[in-house]
Structure 1
Amino acid sequence: MLGYWKAGPPAGALEAVQEAERLGFDSVWTAEAYGSDAFTPLAWWGAATSTIRLATGIAQLSARTPASTAMTAMTLDHLSGGRVILGLGVSGPQVVEGWYGQPFPKPLARTREYVAILRSIMARQAPVTAPGPQLPLPRTGEGTTGLGKPLMSTLHPLREHIPIHLAAEGPKNTALAAEIADGWLPFLFSPASDADARALLAEGFARRDPTLPPADAFEVSVPVPIVVDDSVEAAADRLRPMIALYVGGMGAKGANFHFDAVARLGFEAECAAIQEHYLAGRKAEAIAAVPMRLIDEIALVGPVGRIRDGLARWEESVVTRMLVQGDAEALRAIASLRG
């Protein structure tokens, strides 16, 4: 899991991707927020690899129309020989309305419409139409010429069914992922919430479209920060800034999905303290307020033996794929644990 870039391209990323492929890792995942995009790095690194799957984790719905996302995914799927996994997410109102200039209300309904259009385009069975109301195709009415017509992609898909995974942290969109997608991408997940996760997925599977792959083929891919260090505290300190950013600063007070996800793990008071410091500009205090107990819930840190002991909780959970967030050393450590 390489995530999105900061000021520039991450140093050593290509070497890490190639090492991951050599070690037998399944896939490489990128992301986007309001800087680098999710697809271009996959095309660049995909050209230098041959087997590792290329996944967006996540591409933001409001960054592109469904047609644009389908075109990009289908093009990359051809160029890579069928290696694409399309991870999608709604992001949050600050980014959607502040960066993309798109409306945020009714994100679940928008996701449902978006995925249905993607499926229709990639199946290429007929010219694409969609009733809306958020994403109608063709668009008609006020402000249009009235000349729009249903179209079918000129590009024939390499695969009619490119896997679509949905990022979800809340209960309703977790169930939605099980209903309409091929996989679920939780974030800030803990094996301690396994029973709740299974119940929400079962709720979605009960409504699942029978034309989709069966529920037993559904994947759950979780980013797990991993830091290998002889000092547990030193390893934890490398993760505290990231956790403080997401819990305290990624979203407005009362509208931060990451805050809510961590609070549901039993850290509501800690989240409130982190957010209060962060929004007041006291980032050092916010970082210091991230407890070791929280880090152990959502990450694997410390010596290799400690990581090995902690790995069992994840393997017994609903998780089917762990997305390793770490450097080449972390990749090699995990590969050694997996034999």
Structure 2
Amino acid sequence: MKLGAQYGYWTKNPQLDIIPTAVEAEKLGYDSLWTGESYSSDAFTPLAWVGAHTETIKLITGIAQLGARTPASLAMQAMTLDGLSGGRFCLGIGVSGPQVIEGWYGQPFGKPLTRTRETISILREIWERENPVVSEGSFFPLPYPREAPHSWGLGKPLKLITQPLRSNIPILLGAEGPKNIALAFELCQGWIPLYFSPERPDIFDISKYAIPPDFEIAVNVNVNICDDVEEGLLLQKAILAFYIGGMGAHERNFHTELMGRMGYEREAKNIQELFLSGKRNEAILAVPSAFADEISLVGPKERIEEKLTLWEDSPVTTLIVGANNLETLRSMAELTL
């Protein structure tokens, strides 16, 4: 079992402790450092900052939002960061959700699977540099069609100028729905589940996929070393209430739907109703302790060590631990590595 450290993205204020955190994680034997993005800090810049101050730790976007960049821009950023870091970069991508993609980036969210498939195909073609890139996809036609709105009709197929350090930069897909998860196993080198229960790994039924030995399944796990389990779960419940209640529209919230598929459909809908009606504290308390506990590591060290055996026996290859507490990072390294 490998460990990753999750830096995430900035919330209210810039977080400037990423360098000492990354250096410490690397010394402790962590395999990777992860960043995310929403509509605050981007996923790539902090990794470039870290890459200049570390030597071995992998640098992974977890995740970069597909609606934020064209495939060509994404390919350039990934190729550049991989080259600067000596081949330590992995590209974690995901579709995000319609509220952010349409509300923040001003891009349509329709047909996210098609958008993902097109993006991955173009990324690979750009990095391989065998021919000038041509794509006839509906989302990212290359060159831009002569007859399309506002086109000058002067675009021509181009090939990446630079020979990438690696033409096979690993791509990991953040995926929640069954079709998107299948896409991760079909086209990518890794899958980033949002929630995963080592007690019930059969929920996702990944046994039907042909899984290469180096395929990554990397899961963000909230770790809280404390004496009182129920009290310690409150932080996990607050995060769950925010995602299930507020990170999506009432009509369509992928996180709410995922919790439902994991056996808590009634509870998920109740959390969403409470959160959207302004009853946030009630929404937090409505999160079942059993659900919060099975997807996290909370309690005394002895309890966490015991629960880690379930993760080690699961298909998960990397546990991604929040990097906001160095003592937690050290304790997890002691228990796991």
Q: TM-score range by the shorter chain?
A: over 0.9
Give, in whole Å, the separation in 2 of the partners of 1:58 and 1:193.
25
Residue 167 of structure 2 is aligned to residue 170 of structure 1? no
Q: Provide the residue aligned with 2:276 in structure 1.
A: 279
Between 5-14 and 158-167, the greater mean CA deviation after superposition: 5-14
Letter in 2 for 1:189: F
- Percent of residue pairs bearing the same amino acid type: 52
Give, in whole Å, the separation in 2 of the partners of 1:193 and 1:8.
37
Letter in 2 for 1:72: Q
Give, in whole Å, the separation in 2 of the partners of 1:316 and 1:194.
10
Residue 147 of structure 1: SS of its match in structure 2?
coil
Shift of the alpha carbon at 1:192?
Answer: 3.7
Shift of the alpha carbon at 1:11?
Answer: 5.5
2:32 to 19, 27, 32: 27
Contact kept in structure 2, 1:228 and 1:304, CA below 8 Å: yes
Shift of the alpha carbon at 1:272?
Answer: 1.5
Residue 262 of structure 2 is aligned to residue 256 of structure 1? no
Shift of the alpha carbon at 1:231?
Answer: 2.1
Q: Provide the residue aligned with 2:319 in structure 1.
A: 322
Shift of the alpha carbon at 1:14?
Answer: 2.4
Q: What count of residue pairs does the alignment treat as equivalent?
A: 329
Q: Provide the residue aligned with 2:168 in structure 1.
A: 161
Give, in whole Å, the separation in 1 of the partners of 2:322 and 2:79.
27
Residue 127 of structure 1: SS of its match in structure 2?
coil
Give, in whole Å, the separation in 2 of the partners of 1:89 and 1:315.
26
Map 1:179-258 to 2 at 5 A.
Answer: 179-199=186-206, 202-203=208-209, 205=210, 215-258=212-255
Residue 148 of structure 2 is aligned to residue 142 of structure 1? yes
Give, in whole Å, the separation in 2 of the partners of 1:62 and 1:301.
35
Give, in whole Å, the separation in 1 of the partners of 2:232 and 2:335.
18
Give, in whole Å, the separation in 2 of the partners of 1:65 and 1:119.
14
Letter in 2 for 1:230: D
Give, in whole Å, the separation in 2 of the partners of 1:138 and 1:58.
27
Alignment TM-score, normalising by the size of structure 1:
0.94
Shift of the alpha carbon at 1:123?
Answer: 1.1
Q: Deviations over 1:113-139 (max 9, x none)?
A: 000000011111111111112211111
Contact kept in structure 1, 2:225 and 2:299, CA below 8 Å: yes
Q: Provide the residue aligned with 2:17 in structure 1.
A: 12
List alignment gaps of at least 5 residues for structure 2: 1-5
Give the 3 Å change call, closer, same or farther, for CA 171–192 of structure 1 in structure 2. farther
Residue 107 of structure 2 is aligned to residue 109 of structure 1? no
Q: Deviations over 1:292-330 (max 9, x none)?
A: 111111100011111111111111111111111252111
Give, in whole Å, the separation in 2 of the partners of 1:264 and 1:237.
23
Shift of the alpha carbon at 1:269?
Answer: 1.9
1:118 to 96, 115, 123: 123
List alignment gaps of at least 5 residues for structure 1: 206-213
Give, in whole Å, the separation in 1 of the partners of 2:131 and 2:258.
40
Q: Provide the residue aligned with 2:103 in structure 1.
A: 98
Superposed CA RMSD in Å reads 1.4
Contact kept in structure 1, 2:203 and 2:262, CA below 8 Å: no
Runs of 4+ in 1 over 6 A off after TM superposition: none
Shift of the alpha carbon at 1:193?
Answer: 3.9
Shift of the alpha carbon at 1:8?
Answer: 2.0
Letter in 1 for 2:291: L
Q: Provide the residue aligned with 1:268 in structure 2.
A: 265
Greater RCO between the two (CA within 8 Å, min separation 6)? 2
Give, in whole Å, the separation in 2 of the partners of 1:304 and 1:11.
29
Shift of the alpha carbon at 1:275?
Answer: 0.7
Contact kept in structure 2, 1:198 and 1:318, CA below 8 Å: no
